[in-house]
Amino acid sequence: MTYEHFAVLIVIVPLMSAFAVALLGWFKRWACYPLTLAALFVSFICSLGILNTVISKGTIHYHFGGWEPPWGIEYVVDYLNGFMLVMLSFIALVVAIYSKRSIEQEIPEKIVPYYSIFLLLVAGLIGITVTGDLFNVFVFLEIASLAAYALIAVGEDGAPMAAFNYVIMGTVGACFYYLGIGYVYIVTGSLNMADLSQLLPNLYHNKAVLVGFALFTVGIAVKMGLFPLHVWLPDSYTYAPSVTSAVIAPMFTKVMAYLMVRIFFTLFKPYFSIDLIPITQILTWVAAGGIIAGSILAIAQTDLKRMLAYSSIANIGYIVLGIGLANRMGLTGSLLHILNHAFMKGTLFLVAGGIMYKMGMRDITQFRGLHKKMPFTMGTFTIAALSMIGIPPTGGFFSKFYLVLGAIDARQWAFIVVLLISSLLNAVYFFRIIENAYLEPPVTAYATDGGTHEEIKRDELPLSMLIPTLILAAGVVLLGIFNERIIAFIIRFAVPASF
Amino acid sequence: MKVFALLTVIITGVMLVYGAEDFPKWGDPNQPGSVHVAPRYTQGTYIEAGTPNIVTSVVADYRGYDTMGETTVIFTAGMACILMLRKKKRGEGESNV
Amino acid sequence: MFEYIVSKYNYWVYIFLMMLGLYGMIGKKNLVKKLIGMNIFQVAIILFYISIGSKVGASIPILTAEDLHGSANPLHYMNPLPHVLMLTAIVVGIATTGVALGIIIMVYNRYKTLAEDEILEIRKKSGV
Amino acid sequence: MEIVYSIKPLLAVLVSLIAAPLILLTGERQKNLREFWTILAAVIKFSIVVSMVPLVLDGKIIEYTILPIAPGLLLQLRVEPFGMVFALLSSTLWIATSFYSIGYMRGLNEHAQTRYFFAFAMCLSSAIGIAFSANLLTLFVFYEILTISTWPLVIHKETTEAVRGGRKYLLYTLTGGTLILFSAAMIYSLTGTLDFTPGGFLAGHGTPAMLTLLLITLILGFGVKAGIMPMHEWLPTAMVAPTPVSALLHAVAVVKAGVFGCLRVILYVFGPKVLTDLQLWLPLAYFVSFTILAAGLLALGQDHLKRRLAFSTVNCLSIMILGAALLSKSSITGGILHMAFHGFMKITLFFCAGAIYVKTHKEYVSQLDGLGRQMPLTFGAFTIGAMGLAGVPPVNGFISKWFLCLGALEAKEIVFLVVLLFSALLDVAFFFPIIYKAFFKKPLDDVNPHFDEAPMFMVVPLTVTAIISVGLGIAPDAVVHFFKITTLAVNSILGLGAG
């Protein structure tokens, strides 16, 4: 059965290419970039194959070494991680295409190890997503985390400190997570998710399981930067190289959100996470706080990337809010928002990187006249920003719509207010930029007699950077227009049936 | 900061102690962790994996994929150090890892 | 009560160590001390796992000659699985420490100090 | 009701949507080609809309489903009489405004003309989309696009004042948008549908308190654009925009979209039955009556010509909503007719204001002394528009006001008859001084006492709209059958037979 091997290849190809890049790059530096692209492209094809197989033949199970679970390690791909895989590998591919010029400018002497680690990061994230074994998640989580620490640390001046804080927080998160595994293991004796979901219901009142669940939740919350455990996130996103921000922001937190869904609703039965302990309720309130706090903090920033980072915190709030609402509409909105937000944030960070590349700055107050200089870049920025605000027909609107529906279904009026207010706050901080970018530079005032403006020459990004940005922006719109198709064919089945 | 740290630590500690209440006693041979998956490894190690050392057979065979991940972690750490610390070559000088 | 405490002493030890490590990570100002805290934290968890695997009266998880062909009684051998997991975790811990040390070197090269508040001071002065 | 499936409504929306990028790509270099696109799109759009008139008159409904947009919700266009009125209005006036804009923009040698025409085309697309929307979500999609695409027009001048006006505009309209989003989600979760149905579809759903809340949020949401007090603040502020934009804002697209939304809500979502049963129509009528009177009084105090017109607009818009709120046959007819007719009259007035500005750079009423001798055509048209708004026959305003008064009588609420008549009186009070000054006062020193009109591109459109206003007053059923279509709409709402 060849189709099953896609599930493995999607991880192994980037992983092996990471070794190959490191080796080959030693002799031929130019080879890194095409090799990376090729690996990610194969990965992307595999993800499509996987999703296709999942849709046509159902869940894929792959047993490593032929050892049947729970003794061996198993890869399980169903609708939930099937669509995550496509998203991850696609964004990784697009960002990789973009990366060439930006990296050559920002860290020219480190291209070889950069690409190698880039691939390891992608492999790690994909590995977390495909696996059906709790401990295997931890291993790949560490691969991804170490890669992320390094990718952040090579950024500009504040980066090493940001990376160090990230290491400390990230390690706490990861350790809590594998301590959680220990707590679950000690009372069940298994590490396989499917096996555990069978074993755990008898132990739902066991204190070890309760604490284990709490440890999972806190650990993942730290890793995904959920408010108020987000302290590592803004600095890391701000000081990291542009490409790093553009790959970590849309992917890492989303994978953690996926893991949260997986643990809440697959490893544990929804009835445990929702009814037995009030964890989902607590999470919704925490998330609501994160949405408001993130949005307000974003307004206070003048650094584009830092603003985007705070906006990420707010958006993680959306995703967790949807998970916490724990009904069909809410979770649909949440999963859709994972997808949409990955595209929007990807676009925004690519644009931020593009501005950085061309102008060498990202201070919002200096953006005047950018639309003339880089019309396409600012056009894509506008599209993504509108999506963040939630203007139809972009994707962001629909995920918000489902989240609102979910809040209505849960009869949680406070959250509806939070969602609506936050989209206004989003409007405040994004329109501030759009306004700046579309206005003329302040030096030449407007005059009724047709005062002449200083001519700003068009100076667009090189195509290798522009096209990926455009692709992601187009994705933002397409995801919005075809959201019903995505829900009807994929997300509908990814939501637990008991909802 | 100190107070905050102490508070966090105490809360975590209380939570962990609370969870430990339902743990099996130390060294209990029949604790759930030892009776569900592990016996197969003990009994099958030589027949299925060909070595009397159970840890070896689990590391390298039953859960060999984890071990591959583990080596990748080391590789990642190595590459990370190269990425972070390698300086531009000064003339003919060796790279400074 | 006393018996209860004694029968689970391994857990209390690990919890104490872990709290120690966690305090070091959050409460200490020096980056290397934070890192040491992190190591204590990780080692505590490793100890916890290893103690899960132990069985009273059991031997190391290497089969004796007569038990090779499937006749082994699991009660006579330690649970190997936590050991395996901890092999991985130890490696992960080392790798993390390595990367963290690498980052510390970068920090030191830039600020010539490893005290967090001094670094903050320097950064405030330079306006970054 | 016979349903015809046709792609025409989609084409009507797409024409200007396709024109928009063409305008953008053609750019400043080839002005004539760029303007050609505008005019071409306007004409094509008008012909498509008109070509659907006979079918609508036959009592048929034209439908086109673009794609499903959410489970159970379609992005769907449906042409029925009420929407047709709005579509006809917008597409007719677009042609006039296009010509006028060309004159205005070139006359003043304005900057950023490409952006201007681009946003303009986007606005019209969404206006037609709003007119043909088959359900609340589709309406909302186009409504938000309209909001965003109007913004560049408002801040066109890029002065601090304009930017502030733009911010205010966004704040108000986006807040309105979130209220609508909330209501739409709420209604969807109550009824499982959002399809507009003549006579409403909310009957039998939800508690009275819930329905009252929904009516409030929806009227507030759409009322922001319709300038109902106290949400009218943005309208006079947005007067900093170039005059054609004001004309477009106030007479065609934006505010009318708000009114259209309000009427849709009153007549097609709630329906007369629900509103009567819950006794909601009376408070609503009082609410808008307040606006009618207050806006009229405020208009008296304005010296800035465009601001005076803006308050007159606020007044008229609420009159339309009042017509619908009274729920009697004649009042609804009057309300819908006034929506159409007011467009022609008000755009004439704004065109005049623009022509005066281009020619003489005068913006204040107190500066207009004797200007009628210099610009007889402009002021003649102005007189016609003003008469129409005051309800003097034979201008079309008379017909709609006549029906409104009849409706107030039918509803047996004499108060509202008084309101209507008093507001007509106010109209006289704030318009006739202008006419008097222009024609009979001694010219100021800087007025050229000889015939010296604004550019032809401007004078012709304003003359044409003035003539149309009179023409529609004499024969309201001429050419595009406004009156007949309105009657059809009213009959379908009230559940009366065709004819």
Residues of A whose CB is below 8 A from B77: 146
What is the structure's pLDDT at B91?
44
Tokens of residue D407, six digits: 């409706």
Alpha carbons D49 and D86: distance in angstroms, whole number: 10
A149 with C99: Cβ contact below 8 A: yes
For residue D60, count other CB atoms closer than 10 A to its CB.
Answer: 17
**Residues A179, B19: contact at Cβ < 8 Å?**
no
pLDDT in tens, B1-52: 788 889 989 999 998 888 888 888 888 888 888 888 888 888 888 888 888 8
User: A interface mutation test: which of B30, B65, B97 has the most A CBs within 10 A?
Assistant: B65
3-state secondary structure of D74: strand
Q: Which domain holds residue D435?
A: 2-494
pTM, two decimals, is: 0.91
What is the structure's pLDDT at A222?
92
Exposed/middle/buried for residue B92 (C-beta within 10 Å: 0-12, 13-18, 19+): exposed
Alpha carbons A408 and A222: distance in angstroms, whole number: 29
Distance from the Cα of C16 to chain A's closest Cα (Å) equals 14
C99 with A164: Cβ contact below 8 A: no
Q: Which residue reads 């890892």 in tokens?
A: B97
Closest Cβ–Cβ partner in A416, A449, A484 for D70: A484
**Residues A407, A330: contact at Cβ < 8 Å?**
yes
Distance from the Cα of C33 to chain A's closest Cα (Å) equals 11
Alpha carbons A6 and D142: distance in angstroms, whole number: 42
Angle at C48 (CA atoms; ends C42, C54), nearest 5 degrees: 140
**Residues A452, A444: contact at Cβ < 8 Å?**
yes
Q: Distance from CA of residue A48 to its chain's centroid?
A: 19
Whether A68 has a pLDDT exceeding 50, the answer reads: yes
Across chain D, what does the average pLDDT equal? Answer: 85
What is the full DSSP assignment across A397-425?
HHHHHHHHHHHHHTT-HHHHHHHHHHHHH
Alpha carbons B59 and C56: distance in angstroms, whole number: 24
Closest Cβ–Cβ partner in A160, A182, A185 for C103: A160
Q: Is residue D499 part of a domain?
A: no
**Residues D117, D173: contact at Cβ < 8 Å?**
no
B84 with C106: Cβ contact below 8 A: yes
**Residues A458, A422: contact at Cβ < 8 Å?**
no
Rg (CA), chain C: 21
**For C12, which residue in chain B has the nearest alpha carbon?**
B17
Closest Cβ–Cβ partner in A146, A190, A208 for B36: A190
**Residues B85, C106: contact at Cβ < 8 Å?**
yes
**Per-residue DSSP letter, A63:** E
Whether A451 has a pLDDT exceeding 60, the answer reads: no
Contact residues for D475 (Cβ-Cβ < 8 A; gap 6+): none
Exposed/middle/buried for residue B47 (C-beta within 10 Å: 0-12, 13-18, 19+): exposed
> Which of C16, D68, D20, A37 is CA-nearest to residue B13?
C16
Distance from the Cα of A391 to chain D's closest Cα (Å) equals 6
Select C2-55+74-126's CATH number: 1.10.287.3510, 3.40.50.880, 2.60.120.1270, 1.10.1740.10: 1.10.287.3510
* Portion of chain D with pLDDT greater than 90, in percent: 3
Tokens of residue A144, six digits: 């991804």
Residues of C whose CB is below 8 A from A185: 52, 82
Residues of A whose CB is below 8 A from C22: 172
Alpha carbons A355 and D387: distance in angstroms, whole number: 55
User: A interface mutation test: which of D14, D25, D31, D69 has the most A CBs within 10 A?
Assistant: D69
For residue C110, count other CB atoms closer than 10 A to its CB.
Answer: 16
Q: Distance from CA of residue C109 to its chain's centroid?
A: 28
Alpha carbons D455 and D104: distance in angstroms, whole number: 8
For residue A480, count other CB atoms closer than 10 A to its CB.
Answer: 25
pLDDT in tens, A456-493: 677 788 888 899 999 999 999 998 888 888 888 888 88
A182 with C107: Cβ contact below 8 A: no
pLDDT in tens, C41-72: 999 999 999 888 888 888 888 888 888 887 78
**Residues D315, D296: contact at Cβ < 8 Å?**
yes
Tokens of residue A285, six digits: 């309130």
Residues of B whose CB is below 8 A from C88: 66-67, 69-70
Contact residues for C1 (Cβ-Cβ < 8 A; gap 6+): none
Contact residues for B71 (Cβ-Cβ < 8 A; gap 6+): none
Whether D197 has a pLDDT exceeding 80, the answer reads: yes
* Portion of chain D with pLDDT greater than 70, in percent: 98
Q: What residues does each domain of chain B span?
A: 35-86
Q: Which residue reads 């020619």 in tokens?
A: D359
Alpha carbons A43 and A11: distance in angstroms, whole number: 7
Alpha carbons A262 and A274: distance in angstroms, whole number: 14
Between residues 16 and 45 of chain B, which touch chain C (CB distance below 8 Å)? 16-17, 20, 23, 25-29, 31, 33-35, 37-39, 41-45
Long-range contacts of D9-12 (CB under 8 A, 24+ apart): D9/D52, D9/D62, D9/D63, D9/D64, D9/D77, D9/D78, D9/D79, D9/D132, D10/D64, D10/D66, D10/D77, D11/D48, D12/D45, D12/D48, D12/D49, D12/D52, D12/D87, D12/D91, D12/D128, D12/D132
Least confident of A144-148, D93-97, D123-127, D452-456: D452-456
Any CB–CB contact under 8 A between A207 and chain B?
A: yes
Q: Please state whether beta strands A74-77 and D2-5 pair in parallel, antiparallel, or not at all (unpaired).
A: unpaired
pLDDT mean over A266-282: 83
Task: Please report, as a single letter, which amino acid is at residue A7.
Answer: A
Closest Cβ–Cβ partner in B4, B12, B38 for C79: B38
pLDDT in tens, A22-43: 998 888 888 889 999 999 999 9
What is the structure's pLDDT at B92?
40
What is the structure's pLDDT at D250?
64
Residues of B whose CB is below 8 A from A160: 84
pLDDT in tens, A44-61: 999 999 999 898 888 889
Q: Which domain holds residue A444?
A: 281-499
Whether D364 has a pLDDT exceeding 90, the answer reads: no
Alpha carbons A325 and A328: distance in angstroms, whole number: 9
What is the structure's pLDDT at A95?
93
3-state secondary structure of D64: strand
**For C17, which residue in chain B has the nearest alpha carbon?**
B13
Least confident of A167-181, B42-56, D231-245, D323-337: D231-245
pLDDT in tens, A277-301: 888 888 999 999 999 999 999 999 8
**Residues D354, D100: contact at Cβ < 8 Å?**
yes
Any CB–CB contact under 8 A between A113 and chain B?
A: yes
Alpha carbons D389 and D372: distance in angstroms, whole number: 20
Residues of A whose CB is below 8 A from D158: 439-440, 446
Alpha carbons A259 and A488: distance in angstroms, whole number: 22
Q: Is residue A269 part of a domain?
A: no
pLDDT in tens, D296-310: 888 888 888 888 888
Alpha carbons A134 and A267: distance in angstroms, whole number: 9
Whether A145 has a pLDDT exceeding 80, the answer reads: yes
pLDDT in tens, C88-111: 999 999 999 999 999 999 999 888
Residues of A whose CB is below 8 A from B24: 186-187
> Which of D332, D197, D216 is CA-nearest to residue D271?
D197
C18 with B25: Cβ contact below 8 A: no
Q: Is residue A248 part of a domain?
A: no
Q: Which residue reads 């099958």 in tokens?
A: B44
Alpha carbons D351 and D357: distance in angstroms, whole number: 10
Q: Please tell me the number of Cα atoms within 13 Å of B22 on its side-chain side.
A: 20
Q: Please state whether beta strands A74-77 and A60-63 pair in parallel, antiparallel, or not at all (unpaired).
A: antiparallel
What's the total number of domains in chain D?
A: 1
Which chains share 3+ C-beta pairs under 8 angstroms with D? A
SS3 sequence of D180-244: HHHHHHHHHHHHCCCECCCCCCCCCCCCHHHHHHHHHHHHHHHHHHHCCCCCCCHHHHHHHCCHH
B85 with C15: Cβ contact below 8 A: no
For residue A313, count other CB atoms closer than 10 A to its CB.
Answer: 25
A and D: touch, per 3+ CB pairs < 8 A?
A: yes
Alpha carbons D34 and D40: distance in angstroms, whole number: 10
What's the total number of domains in chain A?
A: 1
Whether D313 has a pLDDT exceeding 70, the answer reads: yes
Alpha carbons D469 and D271: distance in angstroms, whole number: 31
What is the structure's pLDDT at A447?
44
Alpha carbons A132 and A118: distance in angstroms, whole number: 24
Whether D185 has a pLDDT exceeding 50, the answer reads: yes
Q: What residues does each domain of chain C span?
A: 2-55+74-126
Task: Please report, as a single letter, which amino acid is at residue D120.
Answer: F
Alpha carbons A38 and A42: distance in angstroms, whole number: 6
Distance from the Cα of C103 to chain B's closest Cα (Å) equals 7
